[in-house]
Amino acid sequence: MIAVDLKNDSELQDLYRELILDHSRNPRHFGGMPDATHQAHGINPLCGDKLHLYLKLGANQEIRDAAFEGSGCAISVASASLMTDIVIGMNTEEAVQLFGEITRHLAHGGGNIAGTMDLGKLRALDGVREFPARVKCATLAWHALNSAIQQQSDPVSTE
């Protein structure tokens, strides 16, 4: 962990807040996918967030494309937008590992979600740890990702 002075820290916080707002207003990879190979439906009853996630996996279990539809609060939409952006190009093993790291990190803190990968922008979601009720908004898309990869037929719920 690199020590940062307070000024830089609050500048970073502002940057992350802007990133969340940007992704919630202009979500990436938003829309359907007629030729999806995997999909999952996720709901967060606590907040009313709903999303449907589509994945297109290649022959070597690589995530060739990802897209989502649905409606929800800014955090849930921004998280889905960031998630789809990041997992495209990963293989399913890497994606499931990242799902585990992120859900653990957001629920319990600790760990380092940036790891060795270039996942700096996921730190934008760090702020939600101060609001336990919103953690489920941030993790919904990741639960849907895991469910789609595992080909679970039941919708995922954060409850």
Q: How far is the CB of 72 from Zn ion (least distance, A)?
A: 5
* Shortest Å distance, C-beta 78 to Zn ion: 10
Q: Whose Cβ is closer to Zn ion: residue 86's or residue 137's?
A: 137
What the block records as the tokens of 1 is: 């962990």
Cβ density class 59-80: b for 16+ within 10 Å, e for less: eeeebebbbbbbebbebbbbbb
Q: H or E segment at 57?
A: strand 49-57
- Residue among 98 and 137 whose Cβ is closer to Zn ion: 137
The separation between CA 46 and the C-alpha centre of its own chain, rounded to angstroms, equals: 18
CB of 50 to Zn ion, least distance (A): 10
148 SS3 class:
helix
Q: How far is the CB of 60 from Zn ion (least distance, A)?
A: 34
Q: How far is the CB of 116 from Zn ion (least distance, A)?
A: 30
| Alpha-carbon span 9 to 146, nearest angstrom | 32
Comparing CB distances to Zn ion, the nearer of 19 and 138 is 138
Residues in touch with Zn ion (CB under 5 A): 47, 49, 73, 76, 137
Burial of 157: CB neighbours in 10 Å, binned 0-12, 13-18, 19+: middle
- Choice between 49 and 65, CB closer to Zn ion: 49
Q: Which is nearer to Zn ion, 63 or 72 (CB)?
A: 72
